[in-house]
């Protein structure tokens, strides 16, 4: 069976040094962090504490490299910058993930090829949901570093278990709401929202029965921002469920400020979780990601989004996913990691003034 457990970050040292994608990361572009007086969520405890979990998940999609994301964000200064912003940091290291095995349980033969690495992804998400539930139940901010976006099924499930009224802001170029029957690729990083909203029956898929013990994500609790590459079947699902979606066309029409105002109207009064796929950002600013699509959020739009969310005083958890230092050149990888880290800083309270 797949084993999922915590490992000490120091034990990852050899892995990181030997990784060709991380070998050249010896310097980083200087970037200032400016603490600001922003509202603090009433449902989090004081002193403000951030529980960090690395989930080096790669099996929800076909590209190697997303497993390097969590350690690269740490290497570039995550802990120091969070502490500079006034957070007490509890870095729990990375979850260690065994690869899929041939003898892993598989779903019905008709769906087996439609859910690649189903059992592995499900068990990892189960562990992630337990960890985020514990952090949220303790009154801590839960910061999850991916890894591919399949882990969003685990983070959101854990947060909903602790705070069932949470509103979810899914920032992504893609809707990630394909069902196994409708998926053309079988890659599970394109399915987490389908599992969360129960478009998929968890008990039919090995490794996913745990999801039944968590509250489903109601369409009224979900807002998408940044969509621009949506499969035909997903378009129908989004319309049928009446989910609030702000595509890049809406960003063009209303401006990012207008999009955020409408988002907060939809989710008013709820604790907030932001699941941020770096591919929502235009590849000009974040090129090292597996499913890059032109026409994304600009540098400032990407920052304003998380600044606005944290400015509500309701943000209690954040995912940063699909950073893939294994795909681009050294400069592209560095730029992408820097962008992701800067967005985390903005979500955690950094401002220009």
Computed over every residue of the chain, the mean pLDDT equals 91
Q: pLDDT class for 28, splitting at 50, 70, 90?
A: very low
The two structure tokens encoding residue 92: 């729990």
Distance between CA atoms of 204 and 92, rounded to whole angstroms? 32
pLDDT at 7 over 50: no
Residues tagged active-site: 149, 172, 174, 176, 189, 277, 279, 322
Distance between CA atoms of 283 and 33, rounded to whole angstroms? 23
Tell me the per-residue pLDDT of 124-155, one tens digit each, with 9 for 90 and over: 999 999 999 999 999 999 999 999 999 999 99
- The C-alpha angle with vertex 127 and arms to 182 and 130, in degrees rounded to 5, equals 110
Report the DSSP pairing between strands 4-7 and 141-146.
unpaired
DSSP 205-271: STT-GGGGGS----GGGEEEEEE----HHHHHHHHHHT-EEEEHHHHHHHHHHHHHHHHHHHTTTS-
Distance between CA atoms of 47 and 49, rounded to whole angstroms? 6
Among 57, 11, 72, 38, residue whose Cα is nearest residue 338: 72
Among 105, 60, 121, 124, residue whose Cα is nearest residue 204: 105
pLDDT at 79 over 70: yes
The two structure tokens encoding residue 29: 């572009």
What is the model's pLDDT at position 114? Answer: 85
Distance between CA atoms of 47 and 140, rounded to whole angstroms? 9
What is the model's pLDDT at position 112? Answer: 60
What is the model's pLDDT at position 13? Answer: 33
């Amino acid at each position: 069976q797949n084993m999922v457990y915590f490992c000490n970050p120091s034990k990852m040292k050899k892995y990181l040094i030997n990784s060709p994608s991380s070998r050249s990361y010896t310097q980083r572009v200087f970037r200032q962090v400016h603490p600001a007086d922003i509202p603090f969520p009433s449902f989090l405890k004081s002193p403000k504490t951030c529980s960090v979990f690395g989930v080096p998940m790669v099996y929800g999609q076909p590209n190697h490299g997303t497993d390097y994301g969590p350690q690269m964000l740490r290497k570039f200064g995550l802990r120091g910058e969070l502490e500079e912003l006034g957070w007490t940091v509890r870095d729990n290291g990375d979850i260690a993930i065994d690869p899929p095995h041939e003898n892993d349980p598989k779903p019905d033969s008709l769906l087996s090829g439609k859910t690649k690495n189903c059992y592995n992804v499900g068990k990892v998400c189960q562990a992630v949901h337990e960890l985020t539930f514990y952090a949220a139940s303790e009154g801590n901010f839960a910061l999850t570093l991916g890894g591919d976006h399949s882990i969003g099924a685990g983070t959101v499930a854990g947060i909903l278990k602790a705070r069932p009224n949470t509103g979810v802001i899914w920032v992504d170029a893609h809707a990630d709401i394909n069902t196994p029957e409708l998926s053309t690729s079988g890659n599970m990083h394109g399915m987490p929202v389908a599992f969360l909203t129960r478009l998929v029956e968890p008990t039919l898929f090995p490794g996913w029965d745990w999801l039944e013990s968590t509250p489903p994500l109601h369409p009224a609790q979900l807002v998408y921002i940044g969509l621009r590459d949506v499969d035909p079947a997903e378009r129908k699902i989004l319309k049928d469920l009446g989910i609030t979606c702000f595509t890049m066309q809406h960003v063009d029409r209303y401006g990012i400020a207008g999009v955020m105002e409408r988002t907060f109207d939809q989710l008013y009064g709820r604790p907030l979780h932001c699941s941020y796929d770096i591919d929502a950002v235009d590849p000009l600013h974040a090129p090292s990601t597996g499913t890059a699509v032109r026409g994304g959020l600009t540098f400032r739009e990407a920052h304003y989004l998380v600044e606005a969310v944290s400015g509500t005083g309701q943000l209690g958890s954040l995912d940063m996913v699909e950073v893939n230092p294994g795909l681009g050149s050294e400069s592209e990888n560095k730029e992408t990691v820097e962008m992701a880290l800067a967005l985390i800083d903005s979500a955690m309270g950094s401002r220009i003034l």
